[in-house]
């Protein structure tokens, strides 16, 4: 899940995972995976505040599916600078 607030000149990002995800190891892994995807695609994103909320399926998803879902969420929020 993504919350996006467009703002000029501001680029903030936050990652959160609740205890519904699992123990601390699973929560940290989910946040690391989201952080890695954000870093990979950050150069193609608009300025603004991004808040990513991990869901249970994130822990078990393969990397290819995760990247596809990440791009879909970003595209729906209209945060891409270009159509990558």
Ranges of each domain in the chain = 2-76
3-class secondary-structure state, position 4 = strand
**According to the model, what pLDDT value does residue 83 have?**
55
Which sign does the torsion angle of CA 25, 15, 74, 32 carry? negative
How big is the chain by its Cα radius of gyration, in Å?
Answer: 13
**According to the model, what pLDDT value does residue 2 have?**
84
**According to the model, what pLDDT value does residue 84 have?**
45
**According to the model, what pLDDT value does residue 57 have?**
85
**According to the model, what pLDDT value does residue 82 have?**
64
Residues of the chain with pLDDT under 70: 82-84
**Prediction pTM value:** 0.80
Residue range 2-76 in CATH 2.60.40.10: no
């Amino acid at each position: 899940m993504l919350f996006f607030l467009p703002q000029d000149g501001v680029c903030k990002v936050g990652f959160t995972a609740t205890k519904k995800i699992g123990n601390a190891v699973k929560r940290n892994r989910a946040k690391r995976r989201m952080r890695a995807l954000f870093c990979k695609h950050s150069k193609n994103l608009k300025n603004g505040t991004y808040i990513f909320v991990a869901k249970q399926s994130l822990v078990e998803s393969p990397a290819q599916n995760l990247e596809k879902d990440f791009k879909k969420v970003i595209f729906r929020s209209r945060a891409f600078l270009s159509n990558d």
